[in-house]
Structure 1
Amino acid sequence: MMCIHGGAGFGRTLAVNICLRGLEPHGDVRKIAFRARPTARAVRHGLFTALGLAGEPPRHPGEFDRLLKTALAERPSHLPGGQRPRTFLVDEAQWLNGEAFEYFRCLWDEPSAHLAIVFVGGEGCHTVLRREPMLSSRIFIRQHFTRLTPGEVLEAIPLFHPVWADADPGDIAFADQHAAHGDFRARAQLAAHTRPALARTGRSHVDRELLRWAFSRLA
């Protein structure tokens, strides 16, 4: 198990998705996200859906648990390289409470499950994990995402989107200082506004006049 946590818009989910595609292009990755504080019952139903299980979800918790553990033990063997661990990407994990985290721990502890779990969430995710010693001790890696530094912006942003690939480094820094502030999501919003503007104006690359217009379009 691992925990990826940090502020909103810092590129956590993007980075995890790209890394999983690179590490396990043919792997069995199941994504699940919660938008409110889920109970263990809600987690069971979320896993039922993520695993694509047929029929109606069991009503009794014990029966439901047996079904999930059986499904987790049945790893697909048709993938390249034979049987591989199943990976759960649990996004928006800051909504999980101690009960929900504990349920994931119980599944992970099941020897036949052969399960990897990646928790991705805001700062609250790591805070809750630290309050659960039995779970916290099983977290192999904790990675804290922060805003990009000015040097990281110049290194990473030209690779992030074609709009920035040919941009002048000074203009990339200008956009970061006045709008993005090391935030990946803000940079994506700028690209979404800038790309059609380039087409309308016939420009080959961004400049500060166009960037100032894009700044005005940000919420």
Structure 2
Amino acid sequence: MTTGSAPPPHDRNDHCARPDGGDVVATEALQMTYANLKMALEERAMACMYGDSGLGKTAMVNAALRYLAPEETVHMSDCRPRRMRDGLFDALGLQRPRPRNSRECDNLLKTTLAERSRVVVCDNADWLPADCFEWWCHLWDDRHTETAIVFVGRADCFEVLAREPARILLWQEFKRMTLAEVLRVIPAYHPIWADADAKVIKLADRRIAHGNWRVWAYLTAHAVNALEQLQRRTVDEDVLRWALDRLCPRWPV
């Protein structure tokens, strides 16, 4: 995180495998996410966080926003055209009948977004068709709304939103961790890796994880179980082999 700031609180829901004892680690990507979202919030701008699956985009966005805007953030995960208005209506917690007319519904949404500062996280944004992106721009462009919008999606999210590149203030591409970063952050990510030999962590990353956060979360969950089943205290090559066989014995390497 930035100098002098506290790390965001941990939320196990950010991790697909949710291994007990896993922690939020201040990777380079998380620090960049924090800085970019801080600027997006200050400017009430639109930002796009994109990259391959499993690189921690949603987890890092959530972690940063829990620190930056815990009471202002609302989440949208369904980007299908027929669900956009209904999804935002529900995310904003509006306790009133939903207007059947789309224009009336949009007016109500804009009125609600103008009441106070908001951050809307639009996950799976790579599914957005052009007209849905224009709809988000329509809400954001309203001079009364005080809303930052964060689009999160896979690598092709860039192509989806780059049709209107001037609309997006910040673009952040998520990439796989390098081996050097893996060796630095994985021992801090979960206690089972703290005492593991570096060559075991290298082997795990070379054999299956390849710097992918989601795979490391899955592998950690299996390794925790392996330690219990094998009655071991440290992740060694035998424990790693046990975990790998159960994670996916035919995983491409």
Interval of TM-score (by shorter of Structure 1 and Structure 2): 0.7 to 0.9
What aligned pairs does 1:165-204 form with structure 2 within 5 A after superposition? 165-204=194-233
Asked if 1:105 corresponds to 2:137, the answer is yes
What TM-score do you get using the length of structure 2 for normalisation? 0.76
- Tell me the equivalent position of 1:78: none
- Tell me the equivalent position of 1:28: 72
Distance 1:162 1:42 in 2: 41
**What secondary structure does 1:137 align onto?**
helix
- Tell me the equivalent position of 2:119: 87
**What secondary structure does 2:183 align onto?**
helix
- Tell me the equivalent position of 2:150: 118
The Cα shift of 1:13 comes to 0.8
The Cα shift of 1:119 comes to 0.6
Distance 1:166 1:117 in 2: 41
Which stretch of the first structure deviates more once superposed, 193-202 or 117-126?
Answer: 193-202
CA deviations over 1:152-192 (Å, ceiling 9, x no partner): 11122222223223322221111001111111111111111
The Cα shift of 1:62 comes to 1.1
CA deviations over 1:13-37 (Å, ceiling 9, x no partner): 111111112223x431101112xx6
What aligned pairs does 1:38-117 form with structure 2 within 5 A after superposition? 38-39=80-81, 41-75=82-116, 85-117=117-149
Amino acid at match of 2:98: P
**What secondary structure does 1:53 align onto?**
coil
**What secondary structure does 2:135 align onto?**
helix
CA RMSD of aligned residues (A): 1.4
Distance 2:194 2:50 in 1: 28
Unmatched runs of 5 consecutive residues or more in structure 2: 1-45, 249-253
Residues 69, 190 of structure 1: CA spacing in aligned structure 2 closer, same or farther, 3 A cutoff? same
The Cα shift of 1:127 comes to 0.4
The Cα shift of 1:142 comes to 0.6
Distance 1:167 1:101 in 2: 46
Distance 1:192 1:213 in 2: 12
**What secondary structure does 1:171 align onto?**
helix
Asked if 1:13 corresponds to 2:54, the answer is no
Contact kept, 8 Å, 2:226 with 2:242, in 1: the verdict is no
CA deviations over 1:114-153 (Å, ceiling 9, x no partner): 001111100121101112x2xx212111111111111111
Amino acid at match of 2:60: A
- Tell me the equivalent position of 2:247: 218
The Cα shift of 1:8 comes to 0.6
The Cα shift of 1:73 comes to 1.3
Which stretch of the first structure deviates more once superposed, 105-114 or 158-167?
Answer: 158-167
Amino acid at match of 1:54: Q
**What secondary structure does 2:152 align onto?**
strand
CA deviations over 1:26-50 (Å, ceiling 9, x no partner): 431101112xx622x4211110011
Unmatched runs of 5 consecutive residues or more in structure 1: 76-84
Contact kept, 8 Å, 2:125 with 2:157, in 1: the verdict is yes
Amino acid at match of 1:115: T
Distance 2:120 2:194 in 1: 33
Distance 1:129 1:166 in 2: 44
